[in-house]
Amino acid sequence: MTASTACLGHPRIGLQRELKRASEAFWSGRLTADQLHDVGRDLRGRHWSAMKAAGIQHIPSNDFSFYDHVLDTAVMVGAVPQRYRDIEDPLARTFAMARGLQDRGRGVDVEALEMTKWFDTNYHYIVPELERAQSFQLDAGKILREVQEARALGIETRPVILGPVTFLLLSKVVAAAPAQVSPLDAVDALVPLYEELLATLAANGVGWVQLDEPCLTVDLDARTREAFRWALRRLSSVPTRPRLMLCTYFGALEENLEIACEAGFEGLHVDLVRAPTQLESVLRGLNRGMILSAGVVDGRNVWRTDLDQAHGLVRRAVRALGAERVVVAPSCSLLHVPVDLRSERKLDPELKSWLAFAAQKLEEVRALADAAESDVGQGFVFAGSRAAVEARRGSPRTHDAVVRARARDITPALLNRGAAFSVRSRKQIERFGLPAYPTTTIGSFPQTDEVRAARAAWRAGTLAEDAYQAFLRAETRACIAKQEALDLDVLVHGEFERNDMVEYFGEQLQGFAFTENGWVQSYGSRCVKPPLLFGDVSRPRPMTRDWATFASSLTKRPVKGMLTGPVTILQWSFVRDDQPRAETCRQLALALRDEVNDLDTAGIGMIQVDEPALREGLPLRKSERAAYLRWAVDAFRLATSGVRDNTQIHTHMCYAEFGDILGAIAEMDADVISIETSRSKMALLADFGRFAYPNQVGPGVYDIHAPRVPSVDEMEELLRRAATVLPGERLWVNPDCGLKTRGWPETEAALRNLVQAAARLRATG
């Protein structure tokens, strides 16, 4: 008997981003709910059939979502906050929880739930909101419908369910004193619903369930460990239930291995890409008869698997357990990688041979399972892997001696500004003369259909370079004029020339390559196409100087130069795995240092270097964090410390918890940091106050991810809360994030309110 195969989750969006287009058409009223459900049904069927054809035996269902699987779990257990319960249509209610809903004609105006990063990935989940004494009610309809859909295609699936303890740990409690209430207080009320769910699935003939508990790979306190122990044992004790695969990923179980092995489940999945050394302890700890799902194919990156190395792990498991107790799988859900490499028609053939997207990763899983009882892997999949690994290792395209020498020559002096913030601040006040509560935006302005059409035509060669540049200059000129009309204090050029905040820079740096259809979901309908960072990084020529100086020539107000920081470019690319990430980040920082210095020399007095992914890259285990923060902070400082004292360095971070890394953020020594705080009602800013953050802060007062225009009163209230945490003279006023995805009418309306809110604060102090 050979080992069996599994997929923990499939990309949802479709090869051509069909889900994105359908969702946005539904939101705009161009598609009915029935038509949207038809698109979802078609995508699910296509993906199930593709997995079956690839030889996958444990095929997931309930991994599909129209927005987010954590939000779907909240709906499944009835954790729907009161403000949404009057929305009768279930689909509209779910989207309102994710995006907010504003319909002034019907008197509806509800804000969205908070959103934050899914562990250390660039996927964002919707944060469930619980009441102090939360009650739950099961709705298993979605799970059962998908099981039946698959059966109609002749496919038995393994439903994927986010486990109860991880669900609670990812939630927040809304209470008068939330610090005194833990989401885990609800575990006694929640676990019976999961027991009911398992019994329901068994009654409907479901043979296996995948219960995802990724929080088992993080540091847990005694209470949380006991909650896991109790909850998992309760679920394993359900009298009539499917067999259970406890699924962990993104790290090693370490001290939590005992909890997983003693849960009484039939199977355990572990991530052997992130944590291959845990295999021996897992093999020793597994209970008799327990199945091991070995995650040996990387579910988070696009490089072809070294199948010989992965085969060694599978063989070790098979020798210890027997093939019948081993399942070969990706390390985690394939949500984080593109759908199919075969759709890439323009990639350089050599580079393409180094890659594997979701479809190819399933082929690797099948090949590894087929070879599980052989000492040497055979066949074309193994042969291709060996050739790719050898080609990458020896390719001159991945190594640049000049870049490596420059990185070796970095000295501590390159990491420090010329003067302390207290000195720089006085010089910057003198240079810019801004009012109290200065207003600005984060960088991008709406990318309209016209902007996207012009870019597409230019790329296709049907719009000449001169005509495209003239179009972009006209858009920039209009954007500057609109900002002046709104009376913003510090302007931006709008970024109409940019397709994406990482891809744009990657296109101008050595060491990057790009795909046509390498899309992955970031949140909801927001998809990104991460560059392939395959080689040593350098900057052949200036990237942003001309646009920054052009925009500055159009106004007497300060205009920020806009860059993406080294850590964010690293995190939001598919990064080479043949050298330490810290080394790649240093190379990025040196390239960006050249750009920052060019902007400074050109007279751009404010330069924003965005690092929204700094917190995202933080290791899940506390013991590994200090080393990461050291090289991440040093990379930012290396990129930004070469400017004059009166040049103001800004940075931006969003949708993450910052309280545990504020020391590192302060060490970055940016003159101004803007952060996302509107969805949390300034709760995130409280950490900055407790820490006594020394520099200037722009707390977001406008949630750009929701299609609603906040009122002046709403923004003013948030600003007044901010002013109770930090001195008013150190506060800026800005949206949460860039405005690229919004439309001009709502953008102008919201910014008009933002400026009025700032004016009220100035008038009253």
- The DSSP symbol for 508 reads T
- C-alpha 271/C-alpha 246 separation (Å) is 12
Specify the pLDDT at position 655: 61
- C-alpha 632/C-alpha 630 separation (Å) is 6
What is the CB neighbour count within 10 angstroms for residue 644? 15
Residues 177 and 279 placed together within one structural domain of the fold: yes
- For residue 248, is it within any domain? yes
| Tally of domains within the chain | 2
Longest pairwise C-alpha distance within the chain: 78
* Partners of residue 355 on adjacent β-strands: 303
Reply yes or no on whether the pLDDT at 105 is more than 80.
Answer: no
- Residue (of 126, 150, 145) closest to 60 by Cα position: 150
- C-alpha 506/C-alpha 540 separation (Å) is 12
Residues 447 and 387 placed together within one structural domain of the fold: no
Residues 375 and 428 placed together within one structural domain of the fold: no
- Which residues have a Cβ under 8 Å from the Cβ of 283 and sit 6 or more positions away? 292, 316, 317, 320, 321
pTM of the model: 0.91
- For residue 388, is it within any domain? yes
Residues 658 and 742 placed together within one structural domain of the fold: yes
Arithmetic mean of pLDDT, 230-243: 98
Specify the pLDDT at position 375: 87
Percent of the chain that is helix, strand, coil (3-state, to 5):
50, 15, 40
Q: Quickly state the pLDDT bin for 687 (edges 50, 70, 90).
A: confident
Specify the pLDDT at position 1: 64
- C-alpha 78/C-alpha 87 separation (Å) is 14
In SS3 terms, 118-153 reads as CCCCCCEEECCEEECCCCCCCCCHHHHHHHHHHHHC
Specify the pLDDT at position 176: 57
The answer to whether residues 224 and 184 touch, using CB atoms and an 8 Å cutoff, is yes
- C-alpha 346/C-alpha 343 separation (Å) is 9
* Partners of residue 328 on adjacent β-strands: 5, 294
**Opening angle at CA 661, ends 655 and 664, nearest 5:** 115
Arithmetic mean of pLDDT, 420-441: 96
- C-alpha 701/C-alpha 111 separation (Å) is 13
Residues 24 and 103 placed together within one structural domain of the fold: yes
Residues 44 and 105 placed together within one structural domain of the fold: yes
Specify the pLDDT at position 688: 83
Residues 107 and 238 placed together within one structural domain of the fold: yes
- C-alpha 569/C-alpha 533 separation (Å) is 9
Q: Which helix (H) or strand (E) holds 172?
A: strand 172-174
The answer to whether residues 75 and 65 touch, using CB atoms and an 8 Å cutoff, is no
- C-alpha 184/C-alpha 495 separation (Å) is 44
Q: Quickly state the pLDDT bin for 378 (edges 50, 70, 90).
A: confident
Residues 386 and 466 placed together within one structural domain of the fold: no
Tell me the DSSP string of 528-562.
E---EEEEEEE-SS-SSHHHHHHHHTT-SS-BEEE
Report pLDDT digits (tens) over 535-561: 999 999 999 999 999 999 999 999 999
Instruction: Establish whether 58 is a catalytic residue.
Output: no
The residue among 394, 414, 433 that closes a domain is 394
Reply yes or no on whether the pLDDT at 656 is more than 70.
Answer: no
Reply yes or no on whether the pLDDT at 104 is more than 80.
Answer: no
Residues 374 and 456 placed together within one structural domain of the fold: no
Report pLDDT digits (tens) over 707-743: 889 999 999 998 998 898 889 999 999 998 889 989 9
The sign of the torsion formed by the CA atoms of 483, 484, 490, 492 equals: positive
- For residue 613, is it within any domain? yes
Specify the pLDDT at position 686: 80
- For residue 521, is it within any domain? no
- C-alpha 349/C-alpha 351 separation (Å) is 6
Crossing angle of helices 307-321/380-394, nearest 10°? 130
CATH number, domain containing residue 739: 3.20.20.210
Q: Quickly state the pLDDT bin for 272 (edges 50, 70, 90).
A: very high
Kindly report the average pLDDT of the chain as a whole number: 94
- For residue 563, is it within any domain? yes
| More confident call, 501 vs 201 | 201
Reply yes or no on whether the pLDDT at 358 is more than 60.
Answer: yes
The residue among 377, 394, 411 that closes a domain is 394
- For residue 526, is it within any domain? no
Specify the pLDDT at position 50: 98
The residue among 348, 379, 394 that closes a domain is 394
The sign of the torsion formed by the CA atoms of 460, 461, 463, 465 equals: positive
The sign of the torsion formed by the CA atoms of 551, 554, 560, 561 equals: positive
- For residue 292, is it within any domain? yes
Residues 377 and 451 placed together within one structural domain of the fold: no
736 φ/ψ angles, rounded to the nearest 5 degrees: -70, -35
User: Which burial class, exposed, middle or buried, applies to 618 when counting CB atoms under 10 A from its CB (0-12, 13-18, 19+)?
Assistant: buried
The answer to whether residues 451 and 713 touch, using CB atoms and an 8 Å cutoff, is no
Reply yes or no on whether the pLDDT at 658 is more than 90.
Answer: no
163 φ/ψ angles, rounded to the nearest 5 degrees: -65, 155
- For residue 319, is it within any domain? yes
Report pLDDT digits (tens) over 471-524: 999 999 999 999 999 999 999 999 999 988 899 999 999 999 999 999 999 999
Q: Quickly state the pLDDT bin for 752 (edges 50, 70, 90).
A: very high
Report pLDDT digits (tens) over 165-187: 999 999 999 875 556 789 999 99
Residues 145 and 253 placed together within one structural domain of the fold: yes
- C-alpha 669/C-alpha 636 separation (Å) is 9
Specify the pLDDT at position 683: 74
Q: Could you tell me the residue range of the domain that residue 590 belongs to?
A: 424-508+543-764
Residues 332 and 475 placed together within one structural domain of the fold: no
